[in-house]
A = this chain, B = another copy of it.
Amino acid sequence: MKCCRQALLLSSSNCDGYSMLEFAKNEICSALSKNTAKELIFVPYAQKDYNAYTSKIKAVIEPWGFEVKGLHTFPDPVKAINASKAIFVGGGNTFLLLKTLYEQNLVDLINKRVLEEGMLYIGSSAGTNVATISIHTTNDMPIVYPPSFNAIGIVKFNINPHYIDTVENVKHKGETRDQRLQEFLEMEHSGRVFGLREGAILKVDGEKLLVTGVNGAVLFEK
């Protein structure tokens, strides 16, 4: 039942040349309006200081005409998600975010709310990683151990946020992004990966996928 899914999967909240989320303002506002959402629940689990992080997002989005509430301020996160028309899952550390979503029993619930009941999902960076089939293509450091790398699965492929093209002749010998994604594609369980450059947005509208925002994306296949 993907007929009603609505999601905006941002590569990042920050993009060179723009203030925070500025490049995504029109997409976010029109998606919220389409879903008749006056309130947005912000999921701050990818960072450690939930209050500070929520304040930052409030300062950006409330002037656009939508109320922002941190999910951590509700006594029951499951009830809050069940009652919400739209959520925004912020970036930070993907491992910390996914582990916390599992601990709060929100992974399957968000999947159902989005795919079957049309709740709008907005994600950025780590929030985009956890919206996909798995977090196997995050760039983040594995600072905590989640019970699984399987994620919410709003889309059935992987995304690499903050995708960055290979720069030739660098002195650093660590793997390039393309080399890392190639390692993933060699694994049996891998499939397609969208490399979203900073500023790019994958807009999911039912069965339709559209790369919008700025800077574009690269599709990697086995």
Contact = CB atoms under 8 A, between A and B. Distances in A.
A139 B136 contact: no
Interface in A174-213: 174-175, 180-181, 183-184, 186-187, 189-190, 198
B142 A136 contact: yes
Nearest to A197: B172
Contacts of A141: 136-139, 180-181, 183-184
Contacts of A96: 183, 187
Interface string A47-88: 010000000000000000000000000000000000000000
Nearest to A137: B141
Interface string A133-149: 00111111111110011
A100 interface: no
B172 A140 contact: no
A9 to B, nearest CB: 16
| Number of copies of this kind of chain in the complex | 2
B137 A14 contact: no
Assign chain A's interface to a size class: 35 or more
Contact of A135 (B12, B142, B171): B142
Nearest to A181: B141
Contacts of A174: 12, 139, 162, 164, 198
Given A164-B172, A173-B162, A198-B173, A138 B142 contact: yes
A93 interface: yes
Nearest to A95: B142
Contacts of A92: 183
A93 B145 contact: no
A180 B172 CA distance: 18
Given A162-B174, A174-B164, A143 B187 contact: yes
Nearest to A17: B171
14 contacts: A16-B172, A16-B173, A48-B186, A96-B183, A136-B143, A139-B141, A139-B175, A141-B180, A141-B181, A143-B180, A143-B190, A162-B173, A164-B172, A164-B174
